[in-house]
Amino acid sequence: MLKVFDGGLVMIPGVVILAPALPIAVWIWRRRADRTWKLMALLALFHIALTIGFTVFPIPIAGQDYYRQTRGLSQDNFIPFATIVAQLRGLSLDTARQLAGNVIALAPLGVYGPALRPALRDWRRFLLVAAAMAAAIETAQLLGSLAEGFTYRVTDVDDALLNAAGALATMVAWQRFFPRWSARFAASAAPDRAGS
């Protein structure tokens, strides 16, 4: 099994997400479907795998005792806009990078979401899906920390707000500034059912 070491922690790295992603990618590529649908489905798979790899992994599997005693469960934020306001007040290169990273984390969803599911071209439906994905990420991080007994991934409601806002902004911009491409992707989104 692949392991990485960080101080006293032994962890499973995010690269293990490739194990289930690769056969899914082969299945997508071999489907009898429009090439545009295949590309959008592969983009979705790549983005989801990358997101899980960066937000849930690495997962500690040994050496947690020191962190449970010294760090415990701390640093989480459940108050909307508290972190955003604090980061904007003390704006630095690092906080700007964190804000930008949270805005772009789910941005690709704004392209492949409406392409794969034309019903998501309605911004209200899309926002619900983006918010659900963002909330799922933060919930997974919280559950992981609770299971470990210490905060190894900070759970922050503001991360979810920025994730969803970035996805929605990308979706709106994609449809507004690239309407022909957006409509073309949506029109060719449905795979050939005979090849399913």
What is the tally of structural domains in the chain? Answer: 1
> What are the pLDDT digits (tens) for 69-91?
888 888 899 999 999 999 999 99
Say what the pTM is: 0.86
Name beta bridge partners: 5: 10
Angle at 150 between CA 145 and CA 155, to 5 degrees: 45
C-alpha to C-alpha distance for 188 and 191, rounded to whole angstroms: 8
In a domain, 196, yes or no: no
Predicted pLDDT of residue 3? 65
Domain that holds residue 96: 4-191
In a domain, 113, yes or no: yes
In a domain, 172, yes or no: yes
**Which residues have a Cβ under 8 Å from the Cβ of 99 and sit 6 or more positions away?**
84, 87, 88, 162
In a domain, 18, yes or no: yes
> What are the pLDDT digits (tens) for 139-161?
999 999 999 999 989 999 999 99
Identify the segments of the chain with pLDDT beneath 70.
Answer: 1-7, 184-196
